[in-house]
Chain A
Amino acid sequence: MTSPLTPGIAAGRLPAEEIARNFADLHPAYDDHEAQVAADRCYFCHDAPCITACPTDIDIPLFIRQIQTGMPEAAARTILEQNILGGMCARVCPTETLCEEACVRELAEGKPVEIGRLQRHATDSLMARQGHPFTRAPETGKRVAVVGAGPAGLACAHRLAMKGHAVDLYDARDKPGGLNEYGIAAYKTPQDFAAREVEWLMGIGGITWKGGQSLGRELALETLRAEYDAVFLGVGLGGVNDLGVEGAERDGVTDAVGFIADLRQADDLSALPVGRNVVVIGGGMTAVDVAVQSRLLGAENVTIAYRRGRDRMGASRFEQDLATSKGVRIIDNVMPVAVHGNGAAVEIELEYTAERDGRLEGTGERLRLPADQVFRAIGQSLVPVEGPEMDGRKIAVTGPGRTSLDGVWAGGDCTAGEDLTVVAVAEGRDAAEDIHARLTA
């Protein structure tokens, strides 16, 4: 029997039932009464700060009032008109740095209205009935290629389809959803929610799914521009940054995003191998997600090693606390120097850091931690797309996602802006509106 103490990288460190329990819903759904009580706390602010804080500008006080008056499905419409992935966003948005941070009750008493959970209550109520809430406008005869079926591409495709355009939705993967399907932590979206949501979204009609087609391999941008009236690129960040230290090629040193994708697609989590001593390099949401999920799978020791101070971590305070509550240790102000071992990783060597004049430097003091699995979570990067001009490491856009190429729009993680699901949705939606305006001009 394997256990958390089994050396190396091994599957089944915990009994299957325990793993299943560990991966249950992080924020369980409200029942009707809880939702009513939570909704009653909203002050219906004038020009509400939460709306401003939401990248998709959902009219939050309005939808909460609709819940309060016993109309959660109507509330869901208010949400979905602005954000068709409102169900996913309710689960994955770092609300503590978005709407809930702006909530006046956060200022007043440190306890914001639980906007995320209320949003989930509304969208769940509506989706429980399946059926699609919106109807498609009559066919316009215009065709749009959307490349990338993550949140940006899905939001764009849905809005275009709703306006009556015909959308071909391309993706390199076999399943649509992007990081909703392959990236988001499993306990934020259990019960196959990502796939169910995409299926529901497609209920608008007019979207043709074309999986397993990769731009740069099966598809060429120039061909798409010739064949379609418009093209939207929502290809996300397919590359992962390397560690660039001695021993980084050893077995056991893996990319966090790939590991999470395997985890999200695993039918049986107790068959998924994880290390006994896991060290995660990075400080963002990916780092927290891989660390927490490693613990939940049964890793004995999990450490996040971040090169700057805790306050600079990309992961919010809430995410950091979640990690530590699951038994993850966070060491800040350290950077990796080498991965030691004999073939496979056994130990990681870190060096303490200090910031001098804004520059990060090693202090010379080092420490070693046992590590049979090292996750790289130091950021993803854009796999270059041939054609549009770049802005640094992302596709350059102006206004609502217009690239330098006529008839080509882009949005989501592959363009500048915060890498969040909700931001991707907003950009996909806004590009769709701009495309629609152009196509119907």
Chain B
Amino acid sequence: MADLTTDFLGIKSPNPFWLASAPPTDKEYNVRRAFEAGWGGVVWKTLGAEGPPVVNVNGPRYGALYGADRRLLGLNNIELITDRPLEVNLEEIARVKADYPDRAMIVSIMVPCEEAAWKAILPRVAETGADGIELNFGCPHGMSERGMGSAVGQVPEYIEMVTRWCKTYYDRPVIVKLTPNITDIRKPAAAAKNGGADAVSLINTINSITAVDLDSFAPEPTIDGKGSHGGYCGPAVKPIALSMVSEIARDPQTHGLPISGIGGVTTWRDAAEFMALGCGTVQVCTAAMTYGFKVVEEMKRGLSGWMDEKGYRAVSDFVGRAVPNVTDWQYLNLNYVTKARIDQDACIKCGRCYAACEDTSHQAIDMSPERVFTVKDDECVACNLCVDVCPVEDCITMERLPEGAVDPRTGRTVSDEYANWTTHPNNPMAQAAE
């Protein structure tokens, strides 16, 4: 069995699966049960400053996007940070950490953007014995209206400033949690690094309205006839999160900065993908909220099974291995020529590839009266749409034309030399290849 033990910023956990700061980590009762269920660590639900806690709405907090069979694909929430008193949370954190010394215990914090506020809370968090803190610069609703959460996360200068305060008043690892509600994720990541952050975690939730009630004409979730945008999470956000993670992982300014990956992690495979893009741990919220704490069991077994198959003994063996393969479009090999191939034995004759290609692509699929579908190589641009819409896995595949073959679409002979846009004759900015 592969070893799932993770060392992230010197914080050890028995596996890389942490629960993200959210309702699953809201209180002692949940976190104890999560640890019993096998989670490697938790990021405690975000704490606010001393004093009367925030209040949540008393109507629905969540909105949902469903796939087939009411499968939850996306979840939206308008919940705020913890609505329980600071002292209660701190006492609970200390108790739980003492009982589970082998698990990662990170405390998420969001206090006003003033040095005094951070200076006040940090020593108290340190006293709990927690392994580190996570700065919540991500919450896109409610807290941002009060100048916190994503209101800070959208201004790199603030991130740098607050991170620096934390590094001054707290001596354990500081993780900065980033908001995706920004144009270029590399900027806040670099700011965190400049401020001395030990790591970044991302993504927090994305501004969203999941639906509009067509009777009341109100956005959902609806509170007394009105709705507000909330934060989107769950399987639907994974592609966005992966892309943002990859940007940070490959940018020279932030390359090597440890990352805790968050956003739509639902299965071991999602986790492995985040890790391949450079994440040392992953954090999970929606999957636990959908299926309960037990999902971690599938993630652990799945990941170690895959590692065994591949011969990886430790997670560090594959963390970051996909990063070198993320590049810019301009560096993609334009001499890589493929054509769609339809396996006639596997084909069930639904005709979706035909409709897709004929109506919306390149008219490259022929349909016979007997519903036999074949690719016209002289039209196929290899866009892959037919593969994506085909309901049968591996029925349509993309086959590479070998060197020396003639692409019937372009009439050109396929070369095995790498050549990209930067050197292409159609590119007005092309430089001659050396």
Contacts and interface: CB of A to CB of B under 8 A. Distances in A.
Contact of B348 (A37, A47, A48, A108): A108
A40 B355 contact: no
Contacts of A46: 350-352, 354-355, 367
A104 B69 contact: no
A24 interface: no
A108 B392 CA distance: 8
Interface string B56-74: 0000000000001110000
Contacts of A44: 352
Contacts of A33: 70
A107 B371 CA distance: 13
A45 interface: yes
Interface residues of B, number: 14
Interface residues of A, number: 15
A104 B68 contact: no
A107 B68 contact: no
Interface string B176-187: 000000000000
Interface string A259-293: 00000000000000000000000000000000000
Nearest to B354: A46
A104 B353 CA distance: 14
A225 interface: no
B348 A104 contact: yes
A43 interface: yes
Contacts of B354: 46
Given A37-B68, A40-B69, A107 B352 contact: no
B391 interface: yes
Interface in B349-386: 349-352, 354-355, 367, 371
Contacts of B69: 36-37, 40
Contact of B349 (A36, A37, A40, A107): A107
A45 to B, nearest CB: 4
A107 B348 contact: yes
A44 B389 CA distance: 11
Interface in A387-425: none
Nearest to A43: B350
A222 B371 CA distance: 49
Contacts of B70: 33, 36
Contact of B351 (A40, A47, A107, A108): A47
A260 B206 CA distance: 64
Nearest to B359: A46
Nearest to B66: A36
A105 B348 contact: yes
Interface string A26-66: 00000001001100100111111100000000000000000
Contacts of A49: 349, 371
Contacts of A36: 69-70
Contact of B391 (A37, A43, A47, A48): A43
A45 B68 contact: no
Contacts of B349: 45, 49, 104, 107
Contacts of A108: 348, 391-392
Contacts of B351: 45-48
A36 B392 CA distance: 21
Contacts of A45: 349-352
A44 B70 CA distance: 19
A266 B349 CA distance: 47
Interface string A207-249: 0000000000000000000000000000000000000000000
Given A46-B350, A46-B354, 8 more contacts: A37-B69, A40-B69, A43-B391, A46-B352, A47-B351, A47-B367, A49-B371, A108-B348
Interface of B: 68-70, 348-352, 354-355, 367, 371, 391-392
Query: Closest 3 A-B residue pairs measured CB to CB?
Result: A46-B351, A46-B355, A40-B68
